[in-house]
């Protein structure tokens, strides 16, 4: 299934008829030809979100969410506070299971074709494949080294050579190695806020996930640290599928390939980021990105 460039509030037959329209443009790939861009933006689907409704108790927070998330692209979720961005993000690795009274009340979410809400799914295994980075960096009160290997130790890995290799690979992957290589065994809490957030990214990639979910990863960072994390996101998509929630539209414009705009628990529009920010199909999207509400 190709991404639906006109995905909006529409009935299922209309949506089904439109799902094979290719996406035509992309901000971060400005130097690519139109054909190359289209091919890249229609990379294989990794996550199929199919007609998902979600409830917090009696309160329905997501309504009929339906779109694919594609491999090795950055997909940004934007929209005003309370529109369901984080709720949907947390559905993708079942983090909402930790909140009492919540349920996916309709539809399904499939990763590589497997329904992640099926009773046979091992949630720990799922969260290994679908890592998460939170708004506020949350390093453990341990050394830099122990933070990175935390997930591996939980998996029972204790071989020093393997752990050392994972630490260097993950810290390099998180663009932090050069800054911390001489202080691996000092407390992670001594790092700057931006370094701590990159450490959390290193911790997420140490267990070699396929997908990384980021919930406003830069909202607590200063502009310089934000640039570093955005550059890192750009590099990480070589190897990972990334989904990022951001309330910062410039950030969505800078670092995502695809942008999904939500309003009041509904997907209003999803398209190539360049299209969303220059020529959105829906008036609500245009009103939001031009600052008329939200």
Q: Which residues of this chain interact with ligand ADP, rule CB under 6 A?
A: 56, 59, 61, 79, 81-87, 99
Least Å from the CB of residue 264 to ligand ADP: 9
- Nearest residue (CB) to ligand ADP, 206 versus 244: 244
Least Å from the CB of residue 228 to ligand ADP: 24
Least Å from the CB of residue 87 to ligand ADP: 3
- Nearest residue (CB) to ligand ADP, 15 versus 85: 85
Residue 118 is classified by DSSP as S
- Nearest residue (CB) to ligand ADP, 84 versus 131: 84
Q: Residue 87: which of 99, 73, 71 has the closest Cα?
A: 99
CB 166 within 8 A of CB 148: yes
Least Å from the CB of residue 81 to ligand ADP: 4
- Nearest residue (CB) to ligand ADP, 79 versus 131: 79
- Nearest residue (CB) to ligand ADP, 130 versus 202: 130
> What's the CA gap between 81 and 22, in Å, rounded?
30
Residue 41: HSE in the Cβ half-sphere, 13 Å Cα cutoff:
32
Residue given tokens 């990972």 in the structure block: 240
Q: In what order do the strands lie in the sheet with 102-111?
A: 59-70, 45-56, 102-111, 114-115
How many angstroms separate the Cα of 259 from the Cα of each of 20, 214, 239? Answer: 17, 14, 19
Residue 281 is classified by DSSP as S
- Nearest residue (CB) to ligand ADP, 84 versus 139: 84
Least Å from the CB of residue 203 to ligand ADP: 23
Residue given tokens 């969410």 in the structure block: 65
Least Å from the CB of residue 192 to ligand ADP: 26
């Amino acid at each position: 299934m190709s991404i639906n460039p006109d995905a909006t509030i529409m009935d299922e037959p209309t949506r089904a008829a439109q799902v094979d329209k290719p996406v035509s443009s992309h901000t971060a790939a400005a130097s690519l030809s139109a054909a190359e861009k289209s091919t890249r933006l229609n990379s294989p689907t990794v996550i199929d979100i199919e007609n998902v409704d979600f409830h917090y108790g009696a309160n329905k927070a997501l309504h009929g969410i339906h779109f694919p998330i594609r491999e090795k692209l950055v997909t940004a979720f934007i929209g005003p506070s309370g529109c369901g961005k984080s709720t949907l993000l947390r559905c993708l690795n079942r983090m909402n299971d930790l909140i009492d009274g919540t349920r996916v009340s309709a539809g399904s979410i499939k990763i590589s074709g497997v329904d992640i809400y099926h009773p046979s799914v091992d949630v720990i295994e799922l969260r290994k494949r679908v890592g998460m980075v939170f708004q506020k960096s949350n390093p453990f009160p341990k050394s830099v080294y122990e933070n990175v290997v935390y997930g591996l130790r939980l998996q029972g890995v204790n071989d020093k050579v393997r752990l050392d290799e994972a630490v260097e690979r993950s810290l390099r992957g998180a663009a932090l190695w050069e800054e911390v290589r001489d202080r691996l065994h000092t407390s992670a809490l001594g790092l700057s806020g931006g370094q701590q957030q990159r450490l959390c990214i290193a911790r997420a990639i140490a267990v070699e996930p396929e997908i990384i979910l980021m919930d406003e990863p830069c909202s607590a960072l200063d502009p310089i640290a934000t640039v570093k994390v955005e550059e890192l996101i750009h590099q990480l998509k070589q190897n990972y599928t990334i989904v990022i929630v951001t309330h910062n539209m410039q950030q969505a414009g800078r670092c995502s390939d695809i942008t999904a705009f939500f309003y009041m628990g509904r997907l209003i529009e999803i398209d190539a980021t360049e299209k969303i920010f220059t020529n959105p199909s829906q008036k609500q999207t245009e009103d939001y990105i031009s600052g008329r509400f939200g």
